[in-house]
Amino acid sequence: MRPRKSAEPAGDRAGTAARATIHDVARLAEVSTATVSRVLSGGKAVSPEVSDRVRAAARDVGYRPNPAAQTLLRGSSRTVGVVVPDLGNPYFAEILKGVAAEAAADEHHTLVAGTEEDPEQEYRSALELARWVDGLLLCAPRMSTPRLREVAEAARRLVLINRVLRHPAVGSVVVDYHLGVRALCEHLASLGHKRIVYLQGPTAAWSDQQRQRGFRSPEASGLTIIRVPCGSTLVDGREAVDEALTYKPTAIICFNDHVAVGVLSRLRELGLSVPADISVAGIDDAPMSAHTDPGLTTYAVSTVELGRQAWQRFAPTPTTATTHIQGTLTIRASTARPPR
């Protein structure tokens, strides 16, 4: 075996790296281009000595495999597309962190698209990503069911978070938000509250429908629930406060913690004290919720578990069943007995 030729001087590599080809690697490692392809794509096994030589040569010349070519060779991009309705929402950001960590541990990449709560943009982004990735993860998709079925047919694999679709190849991970709303209502009722405003989420949000389910039992047991249109952002919460107060509630339950932070801000502007004048509660337990003033009572959901469960559905033997995740009631200083 002849000794491997020496690599270029380090100072010349920067100019070479941009134009390095598989032929450069093969020439330096003294093997065929087919062998280089097998080693770098993880294809048919070669000897450890040859594999080490090829990888060292690739490093020396600064060769980076073409992702499109690698996909053709493997029949897989080792990439998963993630679509979320709002990249500015800390809840989705935490889910993304969890999914990306699970993907990286499994040597996969993630491509992320935000859709600004626009179902049409969400639909187009999902179809476009489906062309390039091995699987698609949609977080709380807002698009209609017929369009979601179109995406399911276009994607190699589709997993949903906080949405259910009856389809033989689609798995879902959902939070039992109706239980969370019931827990919040029972907590407020135990404090003596009778009249509660709920700031609704986006009209297209499946998870808002689940939250609404949670109010049916409290209404039957004597609580008065007034629903006020809102949304999912901090600005939405701030802008909904004035209308909510016209109903003279003693407590406000918000679609999520992001909305609740906006509510706290507006109440402070109006000179109202939380919880002395009015109680406020959120849902999801976003990272900032423990640090607001006062700390926010919320229904805490494990985004780490959501991400882990979702990633498992991309495993070699995926399940298409729906996994239900329950949160926990986290009581902080934003809720107290109503004013006399």
Mention every residue, 6+ apart, whose C-beta is less than 8 A from residue 45.
Answer: 38
Please give the DSSP secondary-structure letter assigned to residue 34.
Answer: H
Question: Which residue would you say has higher pLDDT here, 26 or 149?
Answer: 149
The confidence score (pLDDT) of residue 65 equals 66
- Run of H or E including 69: helix 67-74
* Burial profile 130-140: b = 16 or more Cβ within 10 angstroms, e = fewer: beebbbbbbbb
Mention every residue, 6+ apart, whose C-beta is less than 8 A from residue 92.
Answer: 84, 85, 86, 139, 140
Mean confidence (pLDDT) of the chain: 88
Average pLDDT over residues 228-244: 97
What tens digit of pLDDT does each residue of 252-272 get? 999 999 999 999 999 999 999
Residue 41's pLDDT band, with cuts at 50, 70 and 90, is low
Residue 319's pLDDT band, with cuts at 50, 70 and 90, is confident
Average pLDDT over residues 137-150: 96
Strand 297-300 and strand 328-330: the pairing is antiparallel
Where does residue 76 rank: exposed (0-12), middle (13-18), buried (19+ CB within 10 A)? middle
Highest mean pLDDT among 45-49, 101-105, 332-336: 332-336
Residue 32 has pLDDT above 90, yes or no: no
How many helices (H) and strands (E) the chain has is answered by 14, 12
The confidence score (pLDDT) of residue 8 equals 44
What tens digit of pLDDT does each residue of 158-210 get? 999 999 999 988 999 999 999 999 999 999 999 999 999 999 999 999 999 99
Order the strands of the 135-139 sheet from edge to edge. 109-114, 79-84, 135-139, 158-161, 170-175, 322-325
The confidence score (pLDDT) of residue 23 equals 85
**Whether 244 contacts 252, CB under 8 Å:** yes
Question: Which residue would you say has higher pLDDT here, 255 or 50?
Answer: 255
CA angle 56/60/64 to nearest 5° reads 85
Rounded to whole angstroms, what are the CA distances from 326 to 181, 251, 274, 299, 300? Answer: 12, 24, 28, 10, 9
Residue 217's pLDDT band, with cuts at 50, 70 and 90, is confident
Average pLDDT over residues 285-298: 95
DSSP notation for 106-164: TT-EEEEEE-TT-HHHHHHHHHHHHTT-SEEEEES--S-HHHHHHHHHHSSSEEEES--
